[in-house]
Amino acid sequence: MHIVTGGAGFIGSAIVWKLNQSGINDIVIVDHLGETDKWRNLVNLSYSDYVDKDDFLKMILTDSLPFKIDTIFHMGACSATTEKDADYLVENNYRYTKILADWCIEKSARFIYASSAATYGDGSMGYNDSEDDTLKLKPMNMYGYSKQMFDLYAIRKNYFDSIVGLKFFNVFGPNEQHKDDMRSVIHKSYPVIKKEGQVSLFKSHKDGFKDGEQKRDFIYIKDILEIVWFFFENKDKSGLFNAGTGKARSFNDLVKAIFSSLNKKPRIKYFDMPVHLRDRYQYFTQANCEKLFKTGYTKSFTSLEDGIKDYILNYLENTDPYLGNRI
């Protein structure tokens, strides 16, 4: 059996789709749906069972699972970079991951989990994913630190000899609509540009960066799936890896690609960044992908323009609310 925690979420549901495309349906979705619309991501997917995340944790802790597990894709977490409840983040992003990883090590099950580029903080320590470099990182928010906590735990326990951690950079693509403020700028800007013909971006509050020229490593969900699948198929490959394109692009570039996909002339306004974000804002992120490529991974990454065009024309412009089988 294959477990996908956060299986109704953005990246989790995409992984379930990828498994389905390869003829794999013996999947248990682990999540907590609450009052969100992420249940829509499951409608067209094929899986064996759905288990609430708290019930699944109890099964793990009491060793009472009714099935044998081959792989756990652990994508479930609180992904809000603005979340202030540190205890909640520690419980959801560190302790839960720690319990699953300990169990997989004991049972010799494959464990592939989501870390985050938020662990890199302001980027002053670079974006290298070696274990030595990871030990030096200082995240700027509690979300990033909750992810860093487990990365450090895995290093101390020598778990990266057998498990895989993926430091996701700025992922965008179908099935993210339920993420509210944590949606990509693409998903937020698309309806505004389509309706009003213009968009607003943060002004820069840092020397050396012009308005809208803050840069991130944006990666399309389809490229993320290729990386995850590589490690699923190659169980002899393990470690902590960046999951980005290795090419930083500006928010100006990003919204111009949206305008282009909609055949509209770019109209961009800039507004002051909220004060409470200014000391925690990443102005530049760019994955160092050298370690990933050294494993034998050879896939090229989708360009920002091509990824946005595909996302808009084949998904956002489509009125079908159930896109879980169309990634």
Instruction: Convert the pLDDT of each residue in 293-321 to its tens digit.
Output: 999 999 999 999 999 999 999 999 986 65
Checking if the pLDDT of 172 tops 60, the result is yes
Instruction: Convert the pLDDT of each residue in 71-111 to its tens digit.
Output: 999 999 988 887 889 999 999 999 999 999 999 999 999 99
Instruction: Convert the pLDDT of each residue in 197-209 to its tens digit.
Output: 999 999 999 999 9
User: What is the spatial distance between Cα 59 and Cα 18, in angstroms, rounded to a whole number?
Assistant: 26
Q: What is the DSSP string of 167-196?
A: EE-EEE-TT-GGGGGGS-HHHHHHHHHHHH
Checking if the pLDDT of 324 tops 70, the result is no
What residues are labeled active site?
A: 143, 179
Whether 139 contacts 120, CB under 8 Å: yes
Amino acid 280: pLDDT: 81
Q: Put the strands of the sheet holding 110-116 in their side by side order.
A: 49-52, 27-31, 2-5, 71-74, 110-116, 164-168, 239-243
The matching CATH number, chosen from 3.40.50.720, 2.40.340.10, 3.30.70.1350, 3.30.465.10, for 2-171+219-246+285-301 is 3.40.50.720
Instruction: Convert the pLDDT of each residue in 230-249 to its tens digit.
Output: 999 999 999 999 999 999 99
Return the SS3 of 260: helix
Give the closest residue to 10 by CA, choosing from 72, 80, 76: 76
Amino acid 81: pLDDT: 81
Sign of CA dihedral 49, 52, 57, 58: negative
> HEC profile for 100-168?
HHHHHHHHCCEEEEEEEHHHHCCCCCCCCCCHHHHCCCCCCCHHHHHHHHHHHHHHHCCHHHCCEEEEE
Whether 228 contacts 73, CB under 8 Å: yes
Which residues partner with 239 through β-bridges?
164
User: What is the spatial distance between Cα 84 and Cα 168, in angstroms, rounded to a whole number?
Assistant: 21
pLDDT bracket for residue 254 (50, 70, 90): very high
Amino acid 322: pLDDT: 54
Amino acid 90: pLDDT: 95
Whether 249 contacts 222, CB under 8 Å: no
Contacts of 251 (CB under 8 A, 6+ apart): 185, 201, 202, 212, 213, 214, 215, 216
Instruction: Convert the pLDDT of each residue in 7-25 to its tens digit.
Output: 999 999 999 999 999 999 9
Amino acid 43: pLDDT: 92
User: What is the spatial distance between Cα 220 and Cα 193, in angstroms, rounded to a whole number?
Assistant: 20
Checking if the pLDDT of 1 tops 60, the result is yes
Side-chain half-sphere CA neighbours of 237 within 13 A:
19
Average pLDDT, the chain: 95
Amino acid 82: pLDDT: 79
Instruction: Convert the pLDDT of each residue in 133-170 to its tens digit.
Output: 999 999 999 999 999 999 999 999 999 999 999 999 99
Amino acid 137: pLDDT: 97
Q: State the pTM of this model.
A: 0.95
pLDDT bracket for residue 266 (50, 70, 90): very high
Whether 304 contacts 218, CB under 8 Å: yes
Amino acid 326: pLDDT: 64
